[in-house]
Amino acid sequence: MAMGFEWPWQYRFPPFFTLQPNVDTRQKQLAAWCSLVLSFCRLHKQSCMTVMEAQESPLFNNVKLQRKLPVESIQIVLEELRKKGNLEWLDKSKSSFLIMWRRPEEWGKLIYQWVSKSGQNNSVFTLYELTNGEDTEDEEFHGLDEATLLRALQALQQEHKAEIITTGSDGRGVKFF
């Protein structure tokens, strides 16, 4: 368990692990689950996961309380996250997924802000530079996983603020406008 991760009060509340039939109650429950999943993945720097891993992870399985969220309910939580833009299925059979504690558009905005602020519009960067370069050490997106970064840049590309290019044999880069 990563240091400093504080479980929310719901995690110790047995009904949290039963999908509530009352619609209003369920809404609150699912919101709490989404929040928990995102903060858990953020702290553990986990961006990709399979559903099987999730089932056994302490995230959905509170051993001490002897409660685990059933897989059908996990699917519902994941669907909520997908609808909010924080999750993307990586395969058709919905067995593994990408979890982004910030939505790609939000990351794109942060990156673009940094690019503009440091006056580097019209420059080209490799993906590695963006996430691991010295210049970005203080930035939130420093250390961001490639999958999420790519999606962030794609969002910017849609807004015509960036263009993803191939550099060299298999490298990728991005040009900002």
Partner 1 sequence: MAIPLSQIVFIEEQAAGIGKSAKIVVHLHPAPPNREPGPFQSSKNSYIKLSFKEHGQIEFSRRLSEEMTQRRWENKPVSQSVQANKGSQPGRIRAVGIVGIERKLEEKRKETDKNISEAFEDLSKLMIKAKEMVELSKSIANKIKDKQGDITEDETIQFKSYLLSMGIANPVTRETYGSGTQYHMQLAKQLVGILQVPLEEHGGIMSLTEVYCLVNRARGMELLSPEDLVNACKMLDALKLPLRLRVFDSGVMVIELQSHKEEEMVASALETVTEKGSLTSEEFAKLVGMSVLLAKERLLLAEKMGHLCRDDSVEGLRFYPNLFMTQG
Among 2, 5, 14, 135, binds partner 1 (CB under 8 A): 14
Among 1, 3, 6, 24, binds partner 1 (CB under 8 A): 24
Report, in Å, the least distance between residue 24 CB and partner 1: 6
Q: Is the dihedral of CA 45, 48, 51, 56 positive or negative?
A: negative
Residues 141 and 111: beta-carbon distance below 8 Å: yes
12 binds partner 1 (CB under 8 A): no
Residues 126 and 107: beta-carbon distance below 8 Å: no
Residue at 112: amino acid letter: Y
29 binds partner 1 (CB under 8 A): yes
Binding pattern to partner 1, positions 58-97, x when CB under 8 A? Answer: --------xx------------------------------
Token readout for 42 is 């953020």
Binding piece for partner 1, criterion CB under 8 A, among 8-16, 43-51, 100-108, 165-173:
8-16
Q: How many CB atoms lie within 10 A of CB 155?
A: 21
Residues 139 and 114: beta-carbon distance below 8 Å: yes
Residue at 156: amino acid letter: L
Which residues lie below 8 Å from residue 106, measured CB to CB, with a gap of 6+? none
15 binds partner 1 (CB under 8 A): yes
Rg for the chain, CA atoms, rounded: 19
6 binds partner 1 (CB under 8 A): no
Binding piece for partner 1, criterion CB under 8 A, among 21-29, 55-63, 104-112, 162-170:
21-29
Among 22, 122, 166, 169, binds partner 1 (CB under 8 A): 22
Residues lying near partner 1 in the complex (CB under 8 A) are found at 9-10, 13-15, 17-18, 20-22, 24-25, 28-29, 32, 66-67
